[in-house]
Amino acid sequence: SEKVVATRKSVIEFMLINHPLDCLVCDQGGDCELQDMVYQFGADNSRFCEPKVEKQPEDISPLIAVNANRCIKCMRCVRFLEEISGQRELGMLNRGENCKISSFYDDKVTSKLSGNTIDVCPVGALLAKSATHAVRPWELKRTESVSPYDALGTNINIDTFANKVIKIIPRHNSGINGSWISDQDRFGFLGLEYRVEQPLVNGEVTPWEQVQEDLGRVFADNEKSTLFMVSPTATVEQMLAVENLAAAMPNAQIGYSFSQHRQIQGDTEYFPVLGMSLEQLLQSDLIIIAGVDLDQDLPVLAARLRKANCRVVMIDPQTPDAGLVKNAQSPVLLFGKAVSEHVDADQLRESLQKVFAHGKLKTGDISGGANSAGAAILQSLRSCEDSAKSFSNVVLVGDALEEIAGDKMHIISSAEHVIALMSTTTEAIKRNAHIILPIPAWTEVSGSFVNMQLNWQCFKAAIKAPDAAREIEQICAMIAKAAKVAIFRKISEDQFADKLKQIKTEQQKSWSAQC
C-alpha cells in the first residue's frame, strides 16, 4: 500500500540522518546493503540540513577496523557474538544520538569467530584492517578454495587482485562450515608475506642449478637412511609424490606428524577421522570432548554444536557428570590433539572408551590437520615399517611443521643433512636446516584435501607462485635425480579413491550397527 511504501521510505531517511556521504571512499561501496535499500526503496532527496553527529573511531580488535559513523545500529554484530560465537563481547552503549557499538570496558574482542562480524555488517562500519582502502569489490577475482588450518575442511572464497590475496570470506556449505569461518581461516594468509623468497644453502642464497648439485652430494649414497616429514597441510597430490619418491629410494621412510597418524590400533587400522557425518554428530544428545578446546582450536565446529543445542561435556580436571553418559541415547566421544599426540595414545583412547562404557557410544577424532585423513589413507596403502631412531637425511615437506619439528627436534638435530621444502619458515627451521627450498603457498596450489568427514575436496590456485618457488612434485624429481633413482607410481590416485570409498562404507556400516 502507499502507506507502507511511505513508512519504509521514512525509516530509510531516519537511518541516513547521521550516515556519512562517503560511499565513494567506503570499502563497502558497491557491496553495501544500505546502498541497495536506498536505491530500491528510499527517497531521491534529503530534508535533513543540520550537522551530522560524528563519533571517534574505536579500536576493538587488531584485525577489525571500526567506523562508528557508518553504523546503523542494526545489532547484527552484537547478536552474532552472543548467539553464534557464544561470547558477549560487544554491546550498545549510551542512548539517542550518542549510542554506539563498543566493547565492554575498552576490552578487545577475543572471539576466534570475530571476523564474521565483518560479513554480517550491512554497511562499512566493520572492515578487515588488512583490506582497508585496497581495492573495489567489483575489481576482485574470486576463487573457490578449502582452508588448510584444521581438519574441518572449511569452504572459503579467496578474493584476489593483481596476483595478490586481498581477503578471504566464507563459502556456504551446510554439511561442513555453514556460513562461518574462523579468524585463522580468514586472516591466516597475512603470514604468507614472510616468504622463503630464494633457495638457501647454509644460509646463503643459491641458484636452483647449484641446488641440484648440492642435492647430488647429499643423496650421493642413496643407501643412507632418509626420513620425509610431511605436513598435514600438504595436498593429496603432494603426498602421493613424496610417497612414490620414498618408495623408489632403498632406505627411506615417511612420517605424517608421527603420533597423529598411527596406522595400527590393536588389530585394526586407525584413521584420525570423525567417523560419522557432521549431521549425524549434531543429532547426538551428548558429546564428550577429550583433549581439545573447541572454542580455541575448532571454533566453527563449536559454533555448529552450539546452534544445534548439543549437550557437550569437556574432560578436564573436574569429573564430568556420569549421569549424563548413563542416560544418553546417542553419546559421542571425540578425541582431540592432546589425546592423539600422547605417547600412549592408543591405550589412552581405549581407557577413555572403557570409562564411558555405553552400548551406543560412538567415537571420533578431531585432532588432525587439513589433510590428516588423506595422509592416514596413504599410509595404510603401504607396508608399515619400523621407525628408526635416527636418520642421515631429513626432508621437511610443507608448512605448519613447527610442532612436529619441536617434538622430534632430536631427530632433526642428529641428522647429517636437513632439507626444508616450505613457503614460510621459522627461526627453529632456519637454525637446523642446511637447505631451504621455496615452494608455493597454499593459496598458490591446486590440489585436494580429505577432511575429518572423509570429504575429498578439490580446489584451485588463487594466484601464481613467485618465480623462485618450485612445486613439491618438481623438487621430488630433483631429489630422485640426485639419488639416481627412478620414480614409479607405487600408489595411484585410483587406489587412493578406492581406499577412501572402502573406509567411508565401513564407517557408515559401523554407524548403522550402533544406532
Helix/strand/coil (H/E/C) assignment for every residue in 119-145: HHCCCCCEEEHHHCCCCCHHHCEEEEE
Return the pLDDT at 514: 58
Q: Residue 156: which residues within 8 A CB-CB, separation 6 or more?
A: 144, 145, 146, 147, 168, 169, 170, 171, 181, 185
At position 462, the amino acid (one-letter code) is A
Give per-residue burial for 365-385: e unless 16+ CB within 10 Å, then b. Answer: bbbbbbbbbbbbbbbbeeeee
Supply the pTM of this predicted model. Answer: 0.89
Q: What is the pLDDT of residue 266?
A: 43
Q: What is the pLDDT of residue 259?
A: 44
Q: Where are the beta strands (DSSP E) in 324-450?
A: 331-335, 362-365, 393-397, 417-422, 435-438, 447-450
Cα–Cα distance measured from residue 413 to residue 384, given in angstroms and rounded to the nearest whole number? 25
Q: What is the pLDDT along the chain (515 residues), one digit of tens a residue?
A: 889 989 998 898 888 888 998 888 999 988 899 999 998 888 777 888 888 888 888 888 999 999 999 999 999 999 999 999 998 999 988 888 888 888 887 778 999 999 999 999 999 999 999 999 999 999 999 999 999 999 999 999 999 999 999 999 999 999 999 999 999 999 999 988 778 989 999 999 999 999 999 999 999 887 889 999 999 899 999 999 999 999 999 888 888 764 444 444 444 567 888 888 899 899 888 898 888 888 888 999 999 999 888 888 887 544 455 566 667 777 888 888 778 777 777 777 777 777 666 567 788 888 778 888 888 888 877 765 555 567 899 999 998 775 555 556 778 888 899 999 999 888 888 888 999 999 999 999 999 999 999 999 999 999 999 999 999 999 999 999 999 999 888 888 899 999 999 988 887 777 666 55
The pLDDT of residue 263 is 44
- pLDDT at position 468 is 93
The letter for the amino acid at 358 is H
Structural domains in the chain, sorted by start: 2-139 (3.30.70.20), 194-262+372-498 (3.40.50.740), 273-367 (3.40.1010.30)
R_g over Cα of the chain: 26
The pLDDT assigned to 256 comes to 79
Residue 205's H or E segment, with its range, is strand 204-205
pLDDT given for residue 458 in this prediction: 95
